[in-house]
Amino acid sequence: MNKENLKILILGSGGREHTLAKVCAESPLVQEVLIAPGNGGMEQEFRTLSIPVEENEKIVQTAKAESIDLVVVGPEVPLCNGVVDELNKAGILAYGPDSQCARLEGSKAFSKDFLARHNIPTAEYGNFSEVEPAIQYLQSCSLPVVVKASGLAAGKGVIICNSKEEAETEVKQMLSGNSFGISGSEVVIEEFLEGEEASLHLICSGEEYVTLPMSQDHKKVGEGDTGPNTGGMGAYAPTSLVSEEMLAAYEKSIVRPTLAGLREEGMNFCGTLYIGLMLTKTGPKVLEFNVRFGDPETQVILPLVDQDLVPILLASAKGESLPQKLKIKNKFAMVVVLASKGYPGSYPKGETIAAPDSLPSSTLLIHAGTAANETGGVVSCAGRVLGAVGTGDSLNEAQTAAYKLCEAVEFPSKYYRKDIGHREFSRL
Ligand code: AMP
Ligand code: GLY
């Protein structure tokens, strides 16, 4: 039996963490949800603590001082920094993988070698920490070719190169530390894959796992998937791109070999494993592993879960058994990201946000890049400002609800894509 009156601390400050906080707060097991550091919008709903997610020692001290029962880690940086290892050493339960397992995201070179060792389908690749062999390898690659900084680069470390010269320049820039600092000290050169992308999220407890609904993100800033890559401009779930049969096949060829392979190598993966898949003509291939929930995917997959998520997070954190399946609502969800015009380039900050006082039950307004001003108002402070989430009995209904909310929220530089879900709508 799980204890009641739990105190949960969420680490992070984006839309993913706001969604996690809302979901945890709904649990009858939970007395209080705290967030560190949180953001301006979250402050109006939850108690926030101004602790940077990079400071393991302060996080451990605070979790002790606040008698936190479970820390839920949102972003990859603290996971790779070993915050879960430190919390566990101090006897505090934490949801998320330890630093050994977090290398699946923290080092693309490690994850590619892992995939190769376990015969899990992925793009052909080479890992390099010296310029000469990298350039030699490039000679054998066809175009376009993908050059990646191996370390964490906040989603910016992947460059698709259309010429060998461009690829050579990128490799040199990365290896010299000029483009991504230490994260570029090793590079992955990879075959370019064609197909549609899908996000597969699992909650894991060692070799046991439950799947969450398949979702699709929209990484490009512009309509029709044009312009530069962003952290994600919108998402929807479930996607008809992956049928139940296909998912069962992916579990066999990708999920189970991954968790079993980790275990074989002495790693017990607990927490979220988010597998970025490219569905190519020759089958699904792993584009990347993430060791945390996707943002903005979280905003659409968690509202579809039809049971208390807290016991599942607790079981994963303890390495205990998980149910075989999660109960999922027979519904659809869409999130449209309200960004500051100019993002992912430069954009204005500090703009006052006006939002409706009450929202219909089919919507959620998720705060991502907001701050509180001196007068208690909420202002924009990042590129991705808010997430407008709509749910409904069809994707159309979810879309209508999400876009109505987009219109009801105002700030001067508000920008959003009008075509979230376009691939799904053209399939249907
Ligand atoms: P990653 O951080 O490795 O997921 O890469 C970020 C994005 O770059 C992916 O979501 C894809 O859109 C794109 N990408 C990464 N690797 C490849 C590849 N081998 N072929 C085509 N696109 C890729
Ligand atoms: N939505 C992409 C990511 O969270 O990495």
For the chain, the structural domain boundaries read 6-98, 130-185, 196-318, 332-427
Ligand 2 atom nearest the C-alpha of 297 is 1
Most informative mutation of 199, 280, 287 for ligand 1 (most atoms within 8 A of CB): 287
- Ligand showing the shortest atom-to-Cα distance for residue 108: 1
Is there a cis peptide before residue 133, judged by omega within 30 degrees of 0? no
C-alpha separations of 398 from 244, 302, 335, 340, 403 in Å: 22, 14, 9, 23, 9
Q: Give residue 145 CA to ligand 1 midpoint distance, Å.
A: 11
Distance 278 CA to ligand 2 centre (A): 14
The helix/strand/coil state of 232 is coil
DSSP β-bridge partners for residue 284: 279
Distances (CA, A) of 221 to 56, 236, 349, 373, 407: 34, 16, 18, 28, 19
Instruction: Give the pLDDT score at 123.
Output: 97
Tallying the residues shown for the chain, one arrives at 428
Q: Give 88 Cα–ligand 1 centroid separation in angstroms.
A: 33
Angle between helices 108-117 and 256-264 (to 10 degrees): 100
Phi–psi pair at 116, nearest 5 degrees: -65, -45
DSSP structural state of residue 253: I
Pick the CATH number of 6-98 from 3.40.50.300, 2.40.50.90, 3.40.50.20, 3.40.50.1360: 3.40.50.20
- Rounded to 10 deg, the angle between the 131-139 and 164-175 helix axes is 160
Ligand 1 centre from 43 Cα, in Å? Answer: 35
Q: Give dist(CA 315, CA 327) in Å, integer.
A: 16
* Predicted local distance difference test score (pLDDT) of residue 155: 79
**Closest ligand to 297 CA?**
2
* Nearest CA among 239, 351, 269, 310 for reference residue 105: 269
Alpha helices in 272-368 (DSSP H): 298-301, 310-318
Topology of the domain covering 196-318? D-amino Acid Aminotransferase; Chain A, domain 1 (3.30.470)
Substitution candidate for ligand 2 out of 201, 274, 384 with most atoms within 8 A of CB: 274
Contacts of 144 (CB under 8 A, 6+ apart): 160, 161, 162, 192
User: Matching CATH topology for 6-98 and 332-427?
Assistant: no
Which residues is 352 bridged to in the sheet? Answer: 379
315 CA to centre of ligand 2 in angstroms: 24
Question: 399 in helix, strand or coil?
Answer: helix
Residues of the chain falling short of pLDDT 50? 1
d(CA 234, CA 335): 5
Minimum-distance ligand to the CA of 289?
1
Pocket of ligand 1 (CB under 6 A): 123, 146, 148, 158, 190-193, 197, 219, 276, 287-288
Ligand 1 mean position to 363 CA, how many Å? 31
Place of tokens 């069962």: 248
Ligand 1 centroid to residue 68 C-alpha, Å: 37
Fold of the CATH domain 332-427: Glycinamide Ribonucleotide Synthetase; Chain A, domain 4 (3.90.600)
What's the CATH number for 130-185? Answer: 3.30.1490.20
Q: Which atom of ligand 2 is nearest to the CA of 293?
A: 4
Sole residue written with tokens 């998937």: 225
CB 162: neighbour CB atoms within 10 A?
11
Which pLDDT tens digit goes with each residue over 372-392? 998 889 999 999 999 999 999
Q: Which two tokens stand for residue 319?
A: 């390495």
Nearest to 344 by CA among 371, 380, 382: 382
Q: Read off the pTM.
A: 0.96
Minimal CA–CA distance to 39: which of 52, 48, 28?
48
Q: Which ligand has its closest atom nearest to the C-alpha of 215? A: 2
